Structure 1
Amino acid sequence: MRSDDWHLTEDVDDFVARAGDFLCSRPALHTMPLTVTEKLRTRGADAYGAQAPVLGRLERAGKVRATFYRLRGLSLTPLTPEHADTLAAHLAALGHSIPHVSADHTTATAFAQAWQRHTGAAPTLSKRLRLYRLDSLTPPEPLPEGRGRVVGEQDHEQLVRWCGEFLDTVGEVPGVDADSWADSRFGDKHFTFWETPDGTPVSMAGSTSMVGRMIRVDPVYTPARHRGRGYAGAVTVEASRAALAAGATDVVLFADPADPTSNALYRRIGYVPVTEWAVYDFSAPAAEAG
């Protein structure tokens, strides 16, 4: 393979050594590969219940220009249409199976079209997200009564239940319970509750560990019976403030662009849009389906 080309590996440490500086150069935009590669590095592929990961970097003139990782699906940093086509052709030639692709909307669309050209697999837009980055934290006024507090071991049962409710609300699978918690996408996150003056938890926010001086707030959830009282904004502010106190220079979160309430909330407390995000699912090629 030429030096100016896509380089693939299953060695996470080698990938981080070669591409880590590139990923840290734009920590907000690269939030997903930063957290995923760190989890792979510290816990291995078993943390995702997946086969061995495939990681790739695009080099031009001796510098990394883009990366991808493939676990259950493919996740990309921003690519030009030309580079998306080159990657699609390369992965198709190697016989890779890709059930879905996730990236900024422009990149995901370019790759989806290229993958269809090279494999015949038809793409379907299955999810749209909006990536936000914290600019200047602005707590809502007035804050609801109560306080934020770090979630402790005594809260584990309620935390597992709320994360399961969150997954049901956003339509994600698989679900989560006490047995699957450690290997779920929540198992290594840090959580904050907002509780009323009598100590009743009413909302939660999770956050990733810091990597590349970036922390992602995820998830934010308020049970339906407690909504409309400002609790989500209050707990998001608490999680964001904790991230800044930990030394994060980039605090980010994803929101559903079709939900005007959450988008308005995040803007009010100081988050600004970075990019639109998209996930495309791929159907089996006609010959394979037949």
Structure 2
Amino acid sequence: MRVIKQSDGKKFHETVEGLLMDREAENNLPIGILQRMFENPTTEDAYLLHMDEDGLPVYLAMRTPPHLWILPSLESAEAKHIQCLVRYLFDHNYDVPGVLGEEQAVRWFLEAWKRLNPAKEARLHMRQGIFRLDELQPILPQEGKLVTAVNAHIPLIIDWLEKFGVETNERLISRQAEELAQDMVGTQRAHLWVVEDQPVSMANRARKTPNGATINGVYTPDLHKRKGYASQVVWALTKKLLDQGCEYCALYTDLSNPTSNSIYKKIGYKWIGNSLVYHFESKDPSSKS
């Protein structure tokens, strides 16, 4: 088995798409990133690696700095694939700030990484559930309507993203709130639930895959919490995406938050897998990284 580094996003997409599409909804993150790179090949820096066995791709990993390494959900994944990947990353001095992805693959990665680099400590950041919706369930309608955010909403969305990053312990979101807000609004992905001309909740259409779309950035400020607005905005955005032709919608939840998990299940989202997010921290500042 060998690891092949690919610098051409289009070629990498063509090489690994078949592996990822067997579990399209679970792999919405790598598929969405690769699709964006395929459509706009010069917009994103990335490390793209796949494992080759007997001339065929058997596993892959990717990273778009400053984000973590992504490990996909593949039915054919084996511990030896992850061990080969880890050895390659270590031997070639790749920066490995952390890893996220399918639960078993991440555990294999942690075991292999600790053996090679005991000076690094793995810290669990979040245990996520991946949910998929194929058929929207009815909910009690509430006052308000779904609105696609416009430029006038950018200051509000910046403020909400900063607070969202604090609430979810996603510091990168808080630091990049202005850039993210401008991109979300500029691409007409940010949506608001508006009651009497006042935005009260937010949801974002994130990545698209060949047959579906992912929703993220669901946030309701404290003043408007516990009024059902998060359910309304996610339900309405899900319906909009299905009406536009998506066969399914997907989203991630923090499994330690039973409230949000309950909300999404009532709408029709069903659990399809888990994703672990780990950050690596040095025990010794002089250790290899």
**TM norm. shorter chain > 0.5:** yes
Counterpart residue type for residue 115 of structure 2: R
Deviations 1:86-138 (A, max 9, x none): 11112212221201011112111110111111222332222211111113211
1:77 corresponds to 2:72: yes
Per-residue deviation, 1:186: 7.9
**1:14-54: CA deviations, max 9, x gaps?**
1112122332332111111012223344556765xxxx421
Does structure 2 retain, via aligned residues, the 8 Å contact 1:132–1:252? yes
Which position in structure 2 is the counterpart of 1:216?
214
State the alpha-carbon separation in 2 of the partners of residues 186 and 130 from structure 1. 27
CA contact (8 A) 1:113 1:123 kept: no
Query: TM (normalized to structure 2)?
Result: 0.87
Provide the aligned C-alpha RMSD in A. 2.5
**Structure 1: gaps of 5 or more residues:** none
Map residues 74-153 of structure 1 onto 2, 5 A cutoff: 74-78=69-73, 79-120=77-118, 121-140=120-139, 142-153=140-151
Aligned residue number for residue 38 of structure 1: 35
Q: What percent of counterpart residues are identical?
A: 23
> Which amino acid is the alignment partner of residue 20 of structure 2?
L
Distance (whole Å) between structure 2 residues aligned to residue 93 and residue 8 of structure 1: 14
Structure 2 residue 20 is matched with structure 1 residue 23: yes
Instruction: State the alpha-carbon separation in 2 of the partners of residues 201 and 275 from structure 1.
Output: 32
Relative distance call for 1:91 and 1:44 in structure 2 (3 A) is same
Measured after TM superposition, the shift of residue 155 of structure 1 is 2.1
Alpha carbons of structure 1 residues 176 and 163: separation in structure 2 relative to 1, 3 Å: same
| Alignment coverage as a number of residue pairs | 281
Mean alpha-carbon deviation: is it higher for 264-273 or for 280-289? Answer: 280-289
**CA distance change for structure 1 residues 274 and 186 in 2, over 3 Å: closer, same or farther?**
farther
Q: Which runs of 5+ in 2 are unaligned?
A: none
**Would you say 1:68 and 2:61 are equivalent positions?**
yes
In the alignment, residue 154 of structure 2 is paired with which amino acid?
H
Residue 58 of structure 1 aligns with which residue? 51
Q: Give a deviation string over 1:56-108, Cα, whole Å, max 9, x none.
A: 12334544332210233211113322211111112212221201011112111
Q: Offset at 1:276?
A: 1.4
**Secondary structure in 2 aligned to 1:267?**
helix
After superposition, give the CA deviation of every residue in 1:125-158 in whole Å (9 maximum; x if it has no partner).
Answer: 2221111111321132x22212222222332222
Q: When the two structures are superposed, what TM-score results if normalisation uses the length of structure 1?
A: 0.87
Q: Is the 8 A contact 1:188 1:208 kept in 2?
A: no
Q: Deviations over 1:209-249 (max 9, x none)?
A: 52322211011111111111111111101111112122222
Q: Which moved more, 1:110-119 or 1:14-23?
A: 14-23
In 2: Cα distance, 1:173 partner to 1:69 partner: 21
CA 1:97 to 1:285, structure 2 compared with 1: closer, same or farther past 3 Å?
farther
Is residue 203–residue 221 contact of structure 1 (8 Å, CA) maintained in 2?
A: yes
- Paired with 1:178 and 1:100, the residues of 2 have a C-alpha distance of 22
1:134 partner letter: L
Cα distance, 1:182 vs structure 2: 6.7
Query: Which of 258, 276, 286 is 1:288 aligned to?
Result: 286
Give the letter for the 2:11 counterpart: D
1:96 match: secondary structure: coil
Q: Aligned equivalents of 1:184 and 1:151: distance in 2?
A: 11
Please say if residues 132 and 271 of structure 1, whose CA atoms lie closer than 8 Å, have aligned partners that are also in contact.
Answer: yes
